[in-house]
Amino acid sequence: MLNKLLKYDLKYIFKTQIYIFGTTIICLIIAKIFQSTVHDFFIYYSIHLSFLMFTYALMFVLIINNFIRLWSRFKNTIYGDESYLIHTLPVTKNQIFLSKTLTSIITLTTSTIFVFIADLIVRDFKLRGVYTYVSTGLNIFINQYLNSFPTQITIYFIILLVLITLSMIGYFSLIFGHKAKRNKLVLSIIIGIVLFILTLSLSFVFYAIIGIFNYGISNFLWNSTLTNATKKTLFIITVIFYIMTSSVYYWFSLRKLEKGINVE
C-alpha cells in the first residue's frame, strides 16, 4: 500500500513540475543559441540576458512550486477533502507520513539536480559580465568558493538537505497547527516561520559550539577564512546538523499524527 500512496503523491507533484522543467529547458536552449551567435548588436545581448534571467526565475519557481504542492497535498490528504478517503484505506498513519516524506525527498532531489545541471550550463556561457554588477566582495566569494566543481556539488547537496528540512518543518507546522480549533492554517504558517528562524539560529549556535573546539570553524565564522581542511569539517557538521534536525521533526510529527487527526 505504501507503494501506491507514494505513486499517487509523486504523480501529483510531477504533473506540474514537468511543465516547469520543459519551459526552463526551452529558455536555456534559446539563451544558448543567442550566446553562440557572434553578434555585437545590443538586441542579441538583451535577448540572451533576458532568457538567462527567465531560466533562473523558473529555477526559483520550480523549488517554490515543489513546496507549495507538497504542503497542499499533505493538507488535503490528511485534513482536507481527500482525508475521508485516505483514512478509510487499510494504511497506517506511519505509512501515510512516510509516503509524504519520501515524496519530499524524491521531488526535491530531482528539482535540485535539475537546477544544478541548468546552473552549470548557464555558467558554461561564461557570463562573467553579470558578475560585474555585484559587489567586489561577492565576486571574491564566487571566485573563491564556486569555481571548484566538487565544492559546487557540496554546496548543492547542503542546499538539498536544507530544502528537505524545510519540507519537514512545513509538515510539522501543519500537524501542530491543525490541533487548534480555529485559524488552523494561519497558526500553521506562524509555527512554520518561527521554526524556520529557530532552526537557522540553532545551526549558527551549533557551528559556534563546534568552533570552540575547532579553530578552523571559528576562523571561518568570525574571519570568513576557509581552508580545504575546514571545508571538509564544515560539510560534515552541516550534514549532521540537518539530518538530525529533519529526523527530529519527522519523529515529533509522526508521534503527534498518531495521537489523532482533527479532520476539517
Residue 197 domain-assigned (yes or no): yes
Q: Are residues 116 and 2 in the same domain?
A: yes
Residue 45 domain-assigned (yes or no): yes
Whole-number pLDDT of residue 149: 67
pLDDT, one tens digit per residue, over 217-257 is 787 777 766 677 777 888 889 999 999 999 999 999 988 88
Q: Are residues 114 and 201 in the same domain?
A: no
Residues 6+ apart with CB under 8 A from 238: 158, 161, 203
Rounded to an integer, what is the distance from CA 163 to the centroid of its chain?
Answer: 3
> Which of 186, 19, 169 lies closest to 104 in space, CA to CA?
169
Measured between alpha carbons, how far is 4 from 8 in angstroms, rounded to an integer? 6
Q: Are residues 125 and 170 in the same domain?
A: no
Domain boundary among 133, 164, 196: 133
Residue 139 domain-assigned (yes or no): no
Q: Are residues 123 and 153 in the same domain?
A: no
Residue 160 domain-assigned (yes or no): yes
Whole-number pLDDT of residue 65: 94
Q: Are residues 191 and 107 in the same domain?
A: no
The full DSSP string for the chain is: -HHHHHHHHHHHHHHHHHHHHHHHHHHHHHHHHHHHS----HHHHHHHHHHHHHHHHHHHHHHHHHHHHHHHHHHHHHTSTTHHHHTTSS--HHHHHHHHHHHHHHHHHHHHHHHHHHHHHHHHT--GGGGGGS-HHHHHHIIIIISSHHHHHHHHHHHHHHHHHHHHHHHHHHHHHTTSSS-HHHHHHHHHHHHHHHHHHHHHHHHHHHHHH-HHHHHHHHH----HHHHHHHHHHHHHHHHHHHHHHHHHHHHHHHT-----
Q: Are residues 128 and 169 in the same domain?
A: no
Measured between alpha carbons, how far is 48 from 33 in angstroms, rounded to an integer? 8
Whole-number pLDDT of residue 169: 96
Residue 143 domain-assigned (yes or no): no
Q: Are residues 62 and 96 in the same domain?
A: yes
Q: Are residues 121 and 196 in the same domain?
A: no
Q: Are residues 229 and 110 in the same domain?
A: no
Measured between alpha carbons, how far is 62 from 163 in angstroms, rounded to an integer? 12
> Which of 171, 167, 188 lies closest to 179 in space, CA to CA?
188
Domain boundary among 133, 167, 191: 133
The full DSSP string for 165-230 is: HHHHHHHHHHHHHTTSSS-HHHHHHHHHHHHHHHHHHHHHHHHHHHHHH-HHHHHHHHH----HHH
Measured between alpha carbons, how far is 204 from 195 in angstroms, rounded to an integer? 14
Whole-number pLDDT of residue 127: 43
Query: What dihedral do alpha carbons 234, 238, 241, 242 form, nearest 10°?
Result: 180
Residues written for the chain = 264
Cell numbers representing residue 147 in the block: 569555481
* Domains identified in the chain, total number: 2
CATH number of the domain enclosing 77: 1.10.132
Whole-number pLDDT of residue 136: 42
Q: Are residues 127 and 7 in the same domain?
A: yes
> Which of 203, 191, 194 lies closest to 244 in space, CA to CA?
203
Q: Are residues 115 and 179 in the same domain?
A: no
Whole-number pLDDT of residue 140: 43
Residue 141 domain-assigned (yes or no): no
Whole-number pLDDT of residue 161: 94
Mean pLDDT of residues grouped by 10 in the chain (264 residues)? 85 92 91 69 72 90 94 86 67 86 95 91 56 43 55 86 95 88 87 94 89 80 71 86 95 85 60
Residue 246 domain-assigned (yes or no): yes
Whole-number pLDDT of residue 246: 95
Q: Are residues 125 and 59 in the same domain?
A: yes
Residue 51 domain-assigned (yes or no): yes
Domain boundary among 133, 161, 183: 133
Could you tell me the residue range of the domain that residue 165 belongs to?
Answer: 148-264
